[in-house]
Amino acid sequence: MLELAGVSKRVGNEDHIRDVSLQLERGSMNVLLGPTLSGKTSLMRLMAGLDKPTRGDILLDGVSVLGIPVQKRRVAMVYQQFINYPTLTIYENIASPLRVARLAAADIDKKVRHAADLLRLTEFLDKRPAELSGGQQQRTAIARALVKESQLVLLDEPLANLDYKLREELRQELPRIFAELGAILVYASTEPSEALLLGGNTATLHQGRVTQFGATIDVFQQPVDLVTARTFSDPPLNTAPVSKRGAELRLDRFVIPLSAAQAAMPDANYTLGLRPWHLTLEGSADCTVEGQVKVTEITGSETYIHLHVADQPWVSLTHGIRHLDVDTSQLLHFSPENIYLFDETGHLVMAPRSPVPVSKALLAEQAWQK
């Protein structure tokens, strides 16, 4: 197990990482999810031993590793921008850590060819990096990490440069491959959908702080606060200030009726949260609000409709192609069963009574894990 105990990293007058405590089990898939500059790479560098924390400790199986040079740790790290040896063949690039470890030639050949086969590189083994595409070079870097059989594998947005089909294949294969080795896999991503596809555990990061850590689907469905909910929402979570009085929420001039369980909450001011796919253009939902259409984005199978509701930017995600004129009024429907409520400090006080549904496409992609 890898444990981070109260780890902080300060550079100059800035806190890059703030009081992070995590426990990552062997064979586990762990996603660091957050926007650019949230601290994902900084945290990975601390895990790898490339940087030392200002405060706190990092332990592997209960033993501090802070005094162990990175060269003596069984750690592999792959960045979004691939790093390969330009003068070596792809075969030798993959084999390089095995030669440093002085493995027998037959063992090296077996491991290199196995990794090359998994990552669709067999036909390129005699070529040099400059002769390959960016995606093929990235796969070479991943293959080199794979053959090291490291205790800790750190992947910093490693699939961003790959084509869509291969990216989806590797999202399915990488967790299984490294789990079979008993490695702790840490994967940094800016995309909530990618975290859901990868499954395992997710740590949401905001300004160098881990806001929540747990099973990915649990963090997605039950965010502990508004910051986490926003981090784990793409399209963005729809939010608006509301006031609760009795069995009603008031959102500007609109009234949202509450169930008996919801009405039992204290009367107060809250922030409402609503996922975009729960905001529909038609239907028999209990609540109706009105918005002004600002932008319509058609992706083919789905349409993103950007609106202003009570002076707040909202997004509705609907199936099919929808053409809506800019600056026209549009009624939007949703069920109070699907709302989140956060108190004035941003902490979650009410979540949807039933689990938030994940799209069929995401569930299909995760089926291999079950």
Q: Taking residues 208-232, what's their average pLDDT? A: 97
The answer to whether 225 and 211 have CB atoms below 8 angstroms apart is yes
Q: Band the pLDDT of 364: cuts 50, 70, 90.
A: very low
What is the side-by-side order of every strand in the sheet holding 201-206?
75-78, 152-156, 184-189, 29-33, 201-206, 209-215
- Average pLDDT over the chain, rounded to whole? 89
The answer to whether 341 and 318 have CB atoms below 8 angstroms apart is no
Whether residue 293 has pLDDT greater than 60: yes
Q: Taking residues 30-40, what's their average pLDDT? A: 96
CATH number of 235-369: 2.40.50.140
Whether residue 176 has pLDDT greater than 90: no
- pLDDT value at residue 162: 75
Whether residue 354 has pLDDT greater than 80: no
Share of the chain above pLDDT 70, in %: 94
Give the domain ranges of the chain: 2-227, 235-369
- pLDDT value at residue 301: 86
Whether residue 129 has pLDDT greater than 50: yes
Please report, as a single letter, which amino acid is at residue 153: V
The answer to whether 220 and 237 have CB atoms below 8 angstroms apart is no
Is the model's pTM score more than 0.85? yes
Neighbours of 7 (CB within 10 A): 22
Token pair, residue 104, equals 């027998």
Q: Was domain 2-227 assigned CATH 3.40.50.300?
A: yes
Judged on CB neighbours under 10 Å (0-12, 13-18, 19+), 89 is middle
The number of angstroms, rounded, from the C-alpha of 257 to the middle of its chain's C-alpha atoms is 34
Q: Taking residues 336-345, what's their average pLDDT? A: 94
Whether residue 231 has pLDDT greater than 60: yes
**Beta strand pairing call for 248-251 and 75-78:** unpaired
Half-sphere exposure in the Cβ direction for 65 (13 Å, CA): 26
The answer to whether 31 and 198 have CB atoms below 8 angstroms apart is yes
Q: Taking residues 14-40, what's their average pLDDT? A: 95
Q: What is the 3-state secondary structure (H, E, C) of the chain?
A: CEEEEEEEEEECCEEEEEEEEEEECCCCEEEEECCCCCCHHHHHHHHHCCCCCCEEEEEECCEECCCCCHHHCCEEEECCCCCCCCCCCHHHHHHHHHHHCCCCHHHHHHHHHHHHHHCCCHHHCCCCHHHCCHHHHHHHHHHHHHHCCCCEEEEECCCCCCCHHHHHHHHHHHHHHHHHCCCEEEEEECCHHHHHHHCCEEEEEECCEEEEEEEHHHHHHCCCEHHHHHHCCCCCCEEEEEEEECCEEEECCEEEECCHHHHCCCCCEEEEEECHHHCECCCCCCEEEEEEEEEEEECCCEEEEEEEECCEEEEEEEECCCCCCCCCEEEEEECHHHCEEECCCCEEEECCCCCCCCCHHHHHHHHHHC
Separation between Cα atoms, residue 361 and residue 337, nearest integer Å? 23
Q: Tell me the sheet residues that pair with 329.
A: 292
Separation between Cα atoms, residue 149 and residue 104, nearest integer Å? 15
Q: Taking residues 331-341, what's their average pLDDT? A: 93
